Amino acid sequence: MRLSHPRPPALVIGLALAVTLLLGACGSGATPPTGTPDGKISVVASTNVYGSIAEAVGGELVSVHSIINKPGADPHSYEANAQDKLALSKAAVGIENGGGYDDFFVQLAKGTLTPEQILNVSDLSGLDTGADFNEHLWYSLPTMALVADNLAARFTAAKPAQSAAFTANAAAFKDHLSALETRLGALQASHGGKGVAITEPVPLYLLEQAGLMNKTPTEFSLAVENGSDVPATAMVDTVDLMGSGTIALLAYNNQTEGPQTKAVKATAQKAGVPVLDFSETLPASMDYIQWMDANVAQLENALGR
């Protein structure tokens, strides 16, 4: 993972965006559209992860439709339905992860939402989105803070009179993120440098913020992520890694489970290596902060507080 050039503070970006959207609306002689009969701001997110963040920032002033909204759903195999298309046709704001993760959103939004109406999280992140880019950005807490500020600015542009509410909601959301980052910092101080293994790169941003180092053969995690067979040598090396005594835990994604990941998991369990589940979409009955809190808690429990 490589960082790009430094970006301006999130607040500056947010204010600039709000001013731009407001000026555009004023110049056309129209009020920024909300998209719902009850006057709420209509938001469509590619997954319930971003839908949850939009609800946290917008509160009762937004109506959110998340296209991928079931635990265990695979964004890579999504097929559009009439309900999703209808929601997008009425949306004022769209949210996509970008980086090749949710390309279905680009196709659905084409001709319906303008590029200015869509928040592309990969573009917002300021990270290098080149060949080695890890697109699972919702595990990057600093990036989610930028998302909250950006959404507050967009919602303010649609409902200027409610600016204080959006700003306060975004601030509260970021306070929760800061608390999680403090806990990750404590893990880094006490366990930084310890090795871990993964089935694919989903939780890497979170693991790296805790100071943990990925020891998995690249060929293994890349094959799992691409849905292809793991090369024999990489499979042997990964299985051997589980019993090497050099890793503190295995980060496991049930949503891409297959015979080869199951074999690695079984070997880890036999060797006494903690196996932690990290999903790509929100678990049932959880919001984003609750989900990340649970992810940090399982790291704390596995590593020992």
pLDDT of residue 73: 72
In this structure, how many other beta carbons lie within 10 angstroms of the beta carbon of residue 184?
22
How many whole angstroms separate alpha carbon 291 and alpha carbon 138?
11
pLDDT of residue 256: 87
CA distances (Å), origin 199, targets 1, 213, 221, 242, 269: 17, 14, 5, 12, 14
pLDDT of residue 248: 98
Pull the structure tokens for residue 261.
């990941």
Pull the structure tokens for residue 171.
């601030």
User: What is the residue type of 32?
Assistant: P
Q: How would you write the pLDDT of the chain (305 residues) with one tens digit per residue?
A: 333 333 444 444 444 444 444 434 433 333 345 556 789 999 999 999 999 999 999 999 999 999 998 877 777 677 778 889 999 999 999 999 999 999 999 999 999 999 999 999 999 999 999 988 999 999 999 999 999 999 999 999 999 999 999 999 999 999 999 999 999 999 999 999 999 999 999 999 999 999 999 999 999 999 999 899 999 999 999 999 999 999 999 999 988 899 999 999 999 999 999 999 999 999 989 999 999 999 999 999 999 85
pLDDT of residue 75: 72
pTM: 0.87
Helix axes 48-58, 288-303, angle to 10 degrees: 120
pLDDT of residue 20: 44
Domain boundaries, the chain: 10-181, 192-303
For residues 44-79, b (16+ Cβ closer than 10 Å) or e, as one string?
bbbbbbbbbbbbbbbeebbbbbbbbbeeebebbebe
Beta strands in the chain (DSSP E): 41-47, 62-68, 93-96, 118-120, 195-198, 213-214, 247-252, 275-277
For residues 139-156, b (16+ Cβ closer than 10 Å) or e, as one string?
bbbbbbbbbbbbbbbbbb
CATH superfamily of 192-303: Nitrogenase molybdenum iron protein domain (3.40.50.1980)
pLDDT of residue 82: 87
Instruction: Please name the residue that has the structure tokens 């100071």.
Output: 211
Pull the structure tokens for residue 77.
């195999």
CATH class of 10-181: alpha beta
